[in-house]
Amino acid sequence: MQATGILGGTFDPIHFGHLRMAQELGESLNLNEVRFIPAARPPHREEPHSAGPHRAELVRLAIAGNPLFSIDMAEFGREGPSYMFDTLSSLREELGAVMPLYLLLGADAFLGLPTWHRWRELLDLAHIAVAHRPGFILDADSPLMVPELRAEWQQRYCDRPPSTPNGFILSREITALDISASTIRESLLMGRSVRYLLPESVLGYILKHQLYTSGTA
């Protein structure tokens, strides 16, 4: 059965950590597509440093040539905060009720899930696949998991991709790439090199449009 993965984020800028996570989860979960969805107005963090059209173009450049990846600009067509609940609801209308959907999250984002808008209802629309670094313990005994999230984990966790379209939580260990967009922005501002942290095409666009830098990369 075909299945689609959803990777949302500000991508400010996109980097190899995002790309490798999407690639490894896509292969592990047998996804036929991973859609990158840039957030227009992220509700859980500060205003993005670069405008939406620039961040979207960075994503397009980063995923070019990978047949597994695509970009979805759905959140730029809506007013108000870019809630994932609204995005998944729209995707359900587009793709139908039968196709499995996977919301792809890093461990930190997953642990903060109870702060999200209508977070429990996300599982009525999609599965959640959590990526974590090797050696990181993510289970019901984790002290980092708040009680309400622990309850959902205990009820919904499974090891293998289910045949249902939504409702389960999975976790996968992926290659550890300790890269953050904030570190990249800081390095660019200070004139330090960010080569090998993001694709050369992305870096070239950043430098051409002087998105984050006051020096050289």
Question: Is the Cβ–Cβ distance between 195 and 51 less than 8 Å?
Answer: no
Q: What is the 3-state secondary structure (H, E, C) of 18-80?
A: HHHHHHHHHHHCCCCEEEEEECCCCCCCCCCCCCHHHHHHHHHHHHCCCCCEEECCHHHHCCC
pLDDT at position 214 is: 59
Residue 147 lies in a domain: yes
pLDDT at position 216 is: 42
Give the pLDDT mean for 188-207.
95
Residue 199 lies in a domain: no
1-5, 88-92, 203-207: the lowest-pLDDT one: 1-5
pLDDT in tens, 28-67: 999 999 999 999 888 877 789 999 999 999 999 999 999 9
pLDDT at position 125 is: 98
Q: Is 70 exposed, middle or buried (0-12, 13-18, 19+ CB in 10 A)?
A: middle
Residue 212 lies in a domain: no
Q: Provide the percentage of residues in the chain whose pLDDT is more than 70.
A: 98
pLDDT at position 77 is: 86
Domain encompassing residue 29: 4-177
Residue 120 lies in a domain: yes
Position 140 pLDDT exceeds 90: no
Position 204 pLDDT exceeds 70: yes
Residue 60 lies in a domain: yes
End-to-end CA distance of the chain: 44
What is the tally of structural domains in the chain?
1
Residue 161 lies in a domain: yes
CATH number for position 53: 3.40.50.620
